[in-house]
Amino acid sequence: MLSNLREFEAGPDPFGRTWQVKFVWLQTGISIRHADTVDIKFVVSDGAYSDEKVIALPHPLMVSLTEQAGVSLSDPLCLKVAVDHLKRMIESGEDMEKPLVTLTAADIERSMAATNSVSAAR
């Protein structure tokens, strides 16, 4: 996992570009779009092009998956999951055209495992 989750490089993407990623904010989706999510916003730039990406983590899924995994639901965990998924998006090119990406249970589980956020007791 990255040592700095607030500012990092990701890539290369399918076109060979490396992207600069900056964390902007983490807040509940209910406050901005009436959704039961935790939203994490990033700005991504390849030097010539900048874009905003919001990774939405459905709150009921996060509660259920963290309980199953035996870990606490926290802002740092949500940020780790979002960073891992965004890196995966950049490297694969998948969903890069979308400004808002809502993760599925499988996406969250994959990112929790990749960031070592899953309890060994699971």
Residue with tokens 């639901």: 73
Q: Please report, in tens digits, the pLDDT of each residue of the chain (122 residues total).
A: 567 889 999 999 999 999 999 999 999 888 777 889 999 999 999 999 999 999 999 999 999 999 999 999 999 999 999 999 999 999 999 999 999 999 999 999 999 999 887 643 33
Could you say which DSSP state residue 16 is in? S
Total domains present in the chain: 1
DSSP state of 104: P
Task: Classify residue 2: in a domain, yes or no.
Answer: no
Are 33 and 14 in contact by the 8 Å Cβ rule? The answer is no
Q: Say if 54 falls within a structural domain.
A: yes
Residue at 84 is within a domain: yes
Segments forming the whole domain that contains residue 105 = 7-114
Considering the domain boundaries, does residue 120 fall inside one? no
- Is 79 among the domain residues? yes
Inter-residue contact 85 to 103 (CB < 8 Å): yes
- The answer to the question of residue 121 being in a domain is no
Do the domain assignments include residue 122? Answer: no
- By CB atoms closer than 10 A (0-12, 13-18, 19+), residue 40 is buried
